[in-house]
Amino acid sequence: MNENERAICYVDGEWHEGNPKLMGPMDHAFWMASVVFDGARAMAGLAPDLDQHCQRLCASAVTMGLAPTLSAQAITDLCIEGVRRFPADAVLYVRPMFYADDGFVMAAPESTRFVIAIHEKAMPPASGFTACLSTRTRPSMSAAPTTAKASCLYPNAGFALKEAAARGFFNAVTLDPNGNVAELATANLWIAKNGAAHTPAANGTFLAGITRARVIELLRHDGIEVIERAMTFNEVLDADEVFATGNYGKVQPITRLEDRDFQPGPISTRARELYFDYAKSFSIL
């Protein structure tokens, strides 16, 4: 944790400052990665789709064989309580989690525990980022819990990011097991071509995000055609625009992909405008 970023955590009914120590080497989550989480944003008192993030957390827990100990609404209420403990203009990352204490290989559902971590985390620049094609691929549904936001999936993304950084890029495009584009290491991928927005169809190999779904809805309501389909990496390179959606950065343009430079275009710019206008309806102060 960055020592300059304030954090609070909700554990066993109480709020704590900093980073409380919760697990030991005998706990299942410590050695078998029985952890699910969700990530939401609170930006100066705005927390768009926080309820959906909490609903997905509960669904992820069930997928991982855990037993949620709180309802999605109760988690939402606690997250709001935590956000209100920060200054009104704080920019935060809100991370509720479930994990297992007990089990042998398979988690014991009755040992499921709950915690919330909320910490200061600035929004990344709206100017965008660079990306390259990764050698890492997303696993199939039969190989990993790909429909859950599970911590065990993230080392693969970390390897993709490490590979990208070694080549001088910020992020990486990963493919699915069929060789089609899946997503970026940390966000969903979009392109614009001939006035339409395109994004890989959800096929169970990657997490089709809440921000992705919101942007699809907002663009279509704005009269922009959105096409969910399989696409190759060469089609991405041939796009008019490339951009990303995800909770961490919301909507960001990709300014360079491999050796091709891109400029933020009208569709990615409009998607960002629409999203942040939408976010204004979610004040929790």
The β-bridge partners of 197 are: 192, 226
What's the average model confidence in pLDDT over 106-124? 97
- How far is 81 from 226, CA to CA, in rounded Å? 36
What pLDDT does 2 receive?
67
47-70 tens-digit pLDDT: 999 999 999 999 999 999 999 999
What pLDDT does 285 receive?
85
225-239 tens-digit pLDDT: 999 999 999 999 999
214-266 tens-digit pLDDT: 999 999 999 999 999 999 999 999 999 999 999 999 999 999 999 999 999 99
| Listed residue (3, 96, 115) closest to 42, CA to CA | 96
| Listed residue (177, 124, 186) closest to 154, CA to CA | 186
What pLDDT does 1 receive?
58
159-210 tens-digit pLDDT: 999 999 999 999 999 999 999 999 999 999 999 999 999 999 999 999 999 9
Query: Quick one: fold of 129-279?
Result: D-amino Acid Aminotransferase; Chain A, domain 2 (3.20.10)
Mean pLDDT of the chain: 97
| Listed residue (193, 266, 196, 204) closest to 236, CA to CA | 193
First-residue to last-residue Cα distance in the chain: 26
- Dihedrals φ, ψ of 235, to 5°? -65, -35
What are the extents of the domains in the chain? 7-120, 129-279
- Predicted TM-score (pTM) of the model is 0.95
Contact call for residues 242 and 225 (beta carbons, < 8 A): no
**What single-letter amino acid sits at 146?**
T
**Residue 105 pLDDT > 80:** yes
Task: Please give the structure tokens belonging to residue 164.
Answer: 């990208």
- Identical fold, 7-120 and 129-279: no
| Listed residue (208, 259, 265) closest to 237, CA to CA | 259
**What single-letter amino acid sits at 35?**
V
Torsion of CA 119, 43, 112, 203, to 10 degrees: -120
The domain made up of 7-120 is a member of CATH 3.30.470.10: yes
**Residue 3 pLDDT > 80:** no
Q: How far is CA 105 from CA 57, 97, 101, 149, in A?
A: 21, 20, 12, 19
